[in-house]
């Protein structure tokens, strides 16, 4: 018997212009929670796709219970007991929970008709066992990300997965949902199911994992008991050097008021929002999921309607009816949903990077190719976007590198107000620092930077001032030099407590 339930040996996977895996190996023990970490583009998702039959490796061996297997497609991997919850969920929102769970694997009655009653019952029971009391006949789209993810897990559990792989499962969840997912993962382990857990959040790995494997540039770096690791050791293994300062905060120099809003209201979402943001400062927005932070800025940006309220830019009342009005008045909005609103996936990196500022790159009636080439090369370098070339299609980039392209796209505009919504979600620790440095540069140039973030360390590490929201209202406005500028007080305000 092998020590491992699933093992990958000496595996290489090449894409045009990239070696995504280079002699990579990993072994997962039965019933363990095994963390996998590495920089954006290190090859984590590719490793998963090899293990789940999506990609065929160019070289190497996959062993299940010590026996070599050759997956020709994802179904063969599923049949071998390997299931995966992908970075971008595979849920069909219009279909019911039951349909999503049984997609491609229907239970047949003797009559050869689908036995929906039985399927609904099974779907309900398995969701309940994962702590979700939901009606399985309802469309998945009716539920939040947390439930949709549980549907993917339910699928795996119901079909007897021995290994469930989770690719950055917490990156699209709120705090409560993260807690639930962690409980579920521990519960799965208790049932003897092994978990391969990919995350950029070191705290999660320390909290959850038994062992961790670090990879860099497609290669294996180390596999250790998590108890033998600490933050510094993990980062050192991951990026090949130690990072002394995770938050390179440069003290802002507050300038003139750039954006002010008064009494923004919209039915059911914004109760009454007023605040001002200044040039030369990073204004953090904190709060629980559902506090209305993204909604506030979608409304300011003209993406959602307002019932009432006023918006001022540089002290003058602004009319913003649609995002284009906002862009024309030099407001940039980096959305949290990179696939939905940030990028044109079928287009090259280069095109995406200049997308928000085509006019700025014009020379007479044509685009200035040389200026574009220089700007794009600058973006790729300053954000360390890992891509074979500026002409690579964005869909081919790793998740984190796609996020960096979204950031580059907006930095290339001549905007004065930058709204960053969860800018470092899904980005590795080294690249986070690069994103923070971009923000530092912007405020130094006298721009106004607003950063919505669910990560308290990031809010505390980078903001000059933080506004805390709850249920569509501003609860607190705390300067960096205030006694309340700490995690406890920010959380207290987020939960509705008085400071
Ligand atoms: N289908 C593909 N075609 C071409 N190149 C690809 C493809 N999939 C991945 N790559 C490349 O392989 C490398 C590894 O990508 P992968 O998605 O495995 O990284 P990752 O470790 O998951 O990164 P992240 O943390 O950003 O999600 C990257 O350079 C990426 O651009
Ligand atoms: Mg990935």
Q: What is the pLDDT along the chain (499 residues), one digit of tens a residue?
A: 789 999 999 999 999 989 999 999 999 999 999 999 999 999 999 999 999 999 999 999 999 999 999 999 998 999 999 999 886 777 888 999 999 998 866 555 455 556 888 889 999 999 999 989 999 999 998 888 888 999 999 999 988 999 999 999 988 787 778 888 999 999 999 999 999 999 999 999 999 999 999 999 999 999 999 999 999 999 999 988 878 788 999 988 899 999 999 999 999 899 999 999 999 999 999 998 789 999 999 999 999 999 999 999 999 999 999 999 999 999 999 887 766 668 899 999 999 999 887 778 888 888 888 889 999 999 999 888 999 999 999 999 988 899 889 989 888 888 999 999 999 988 898 889 989 999 999 999 999 999 999 889 999 999 999 999 999 999 999 999 999 999 999 999 999 988 8
Residue 199: C-alpha distances to residues 38, 206, 427 (Å): 9, 11, 10
Residues whose CB falls within 8 Å of the CB of residue 261, separated by 6 or more in sequence, listed in order: 273, 274, 275, 276, 296, 300, 309, 310, 311, 312
CB of 394 shorter than 6 A to ligand 1 = no
Which has the closest alpha carbon to 329: 262, 439, 447, 414?
Answer: 414
CA pair distance 19, 41, nearest whole angstrom: 10
Give 398 Cα–ligand 2 centroid separation in angstroms.
5
Ligand 1 pocket test, pick from 16, 18, 86, 338 with the greatest ligand atom count within 8 Å of Cβ, gives: 18
Give the residues across from 6 on adjacent strands: 28, 64
> HEC states along 27-94?
EECCCCEEEEECCCCCCHHHHHHHHCCCCCCCEEEEEECCEEECCCCHHHHHHCCEEEECCCCCCCCC
Q: Tell me the pLDDT of the chain averaged across its residues.
A: 91
CB of 424 shorter than 6 A to ligand 1 = no
In the 8-state DSSP scheme, what is residue 336? S
For the CA of 48, the closest atom of ligand 1 is 18
CA pair distance 58, 43, nearest whole angstrom: 14
Which has the closest alpha carbon to 332: 419, 272, 428, 401?
Answer: 419
Structure-derived torsion over alpha carbons of residues 76, 81, 87, 89, reported in degrees to the nearest 10: 80
The ligand with the least distance to the CA atom of 43 is 1
Give 184 Cα–ligand 1 centroid separation in angstroms.
28
Residues whose CB falls within 8 Å of the CB of residue 482, separated by 6 or more in sequence, listed in order: none
pTM above 0.75, yes or no: yes
Atom 1 (ligand 1) nearest CA:
396
Orientation of helix 429-444 relative to helix 369-382, angle to 10°: 120
Based on DSSP, count helices (H) and strands (E) in the chain, helices before strands: 16, 22
Count the neighbouring beta carbons within 10 Å of the beta carbon of residue 213.
Answer: 24
pLDDT tens digits along 128-154: 999 899 999 999 988 888 889 999 999
Give 198 Cα–ligand 2 centroid separation in angstroms.
8
How high is the pLDDT of residue 492?
A: 94
DSSP 3-state of 271: strand
CA pair distance 423, 340, nearest whole angstrom: 15
Query: What's the helix, strand, coil split of the chain in %, to 5?
Result: 35, 25, 40
CB of 399 shorter than 6 A to ligand 1 = yes
Which has the closest alpha carbon to 248: 431, 427, 448, 484?
Answer: 431
Which protein residues have their CB within 5 A of the ion that is ligand 2?
45, 398-399
Structure tokens at 306: 């307002």
How high is the pLDDT of residue 64?
A: 97
Residues whose CB falls within 8 Å of the CB of residue 488, separated by 6 or more in sequence, listed in order: none
Percentage of the chain modeled with pLDDT above 90: 70
CA pair distance 49, 55, nearest whole angstrom: 5
Give the residues across from 450 on adjacent strands: 283, 419
Which has the closest alpha carbon to 101: 88, 82, 85?
Answer: 85
Atom 19 (ligand 1) nearest CA:
41
Atom 31 (ligand 1) nearest CA:
397
Residue 75: C-alpha distances to residues 103, 318, 438 (Å): 12, 55, 43
CB 448 within 8 A of CB 420: no
CB of 15 shorter than 6 A to ligand 1 = yes
CB-neighbour burial class of residue 484 (10 A; exposed 0-12, middle 13-18, buried 19+): middle
Give 40 Cα–ligand 2 centroid separation in angstroms.
7
Atom 25 (ligand 1) nearest CA:
40
CB of 169 shorter than 6 A to ligand 1 = no
The ligand with the least distance to the CA atom of 37 is 1
Residue 107: C-alpha distances to residues 115, 126, 140, 162, 432 (Å): 7, 15, 20, 21, 47
For the CA of 42, the closest atom of ligand 1 is 21
């Amino acid at each position: 018997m092998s020590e491992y339930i699933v093992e990958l040996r000496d595996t290489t996977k090449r894409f045009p212009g990239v070696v995504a895996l280079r002699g990579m190996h990993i072994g997962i023990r039965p019933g363990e929670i095994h963390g996998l970490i590495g920089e954006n583009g290190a090859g984590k998702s590719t490793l998963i796709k090899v293990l789940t039959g999506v990609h065929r490796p160019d070289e190497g061996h996959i062993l299940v219970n010590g026996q070599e297997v050759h997956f020709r497609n994802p179904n063969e991997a599923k049949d071998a007991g390997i299931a995966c919850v992908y970075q971008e969920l595979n849920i069909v929102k219009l279909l019911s929970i039951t349909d999503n769970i049984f997609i491609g694997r229907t239970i047949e009655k003797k009559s050869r008709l689908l036995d929906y009653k039985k399927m609904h019952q099974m779907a309900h029971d398995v969701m309940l066992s994962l702590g979700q009391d939901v009606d399985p006949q309802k469309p998945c789209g009716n539920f939040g990300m947390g439930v949709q993810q549980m549907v993917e897990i339910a699928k795996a559990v119901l079909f007897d997965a021995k290994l469930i792989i989770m690719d950055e499962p917490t990156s699209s969840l709120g705090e409560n949902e993260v807690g639930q997912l962690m409980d579920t993962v521990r519960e799965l382990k208790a049932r003897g199911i092994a978990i391969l857990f990919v995350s950029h959040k070191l705290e999660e790995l320390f909290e959850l994992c038994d062992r961790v494997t670090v990879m860099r540039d497609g290669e294996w770096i180390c596999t250790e008991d998590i108890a033998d690791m600490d933050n510094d050791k993990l980062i050192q293994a991951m990026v090949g050097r130690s990072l002394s300062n995770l938050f390179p905060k440069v003290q802002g120099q507050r300038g003139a008021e750039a954006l002010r809003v008064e009494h923004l209201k919209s039915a059911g979402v914004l109760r009454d929002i007023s605040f001002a943001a200044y040039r030369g400062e990073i204004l953090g927005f904190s709060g629980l999921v559902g506090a209305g932070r993204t909604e506030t800025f979608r409304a300011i940006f003209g993406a959602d309607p307002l019932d009432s309220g006023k918006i001022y830019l540089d002290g003058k009342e602004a009319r913003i009816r649609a995002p284009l009005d906002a862009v024309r008045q030099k407001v940039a909005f980096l959305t949290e949903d990179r696939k939905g609103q940030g990028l044109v996936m079928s287009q090259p990196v280069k095109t995406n990077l200049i997308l928000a500022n085509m006019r700025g790159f014009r020379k007479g009636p044509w685009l200035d190719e040389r200026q574009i080439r220089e700007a794009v090369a600058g973006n790729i370098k300053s954000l360390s976007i890992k891509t074979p070339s500026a002409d690579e299609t964005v869909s081919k980039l790793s998740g984190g590198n796609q996020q960096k392209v979204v950031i580059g796209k907006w930095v290339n505009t001549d905007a004065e107000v930058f709204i960053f919504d969860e800018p470092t979600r899904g980005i590795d620790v080294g690249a986070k620092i690069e994103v923070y440095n971009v923000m530092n540069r912007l405020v130094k140039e006298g721009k106004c930077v607003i950063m919505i973030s669910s990560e308290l360390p990031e809010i505390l590490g980078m903001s000059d001032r933080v506004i805390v929201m709850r249920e569509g209202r501003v609860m607190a406005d705390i300067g960096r030099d205030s006694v309340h500028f700490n995690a406890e007080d920010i959380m207290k305000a987020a939960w509705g407590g008085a400071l």
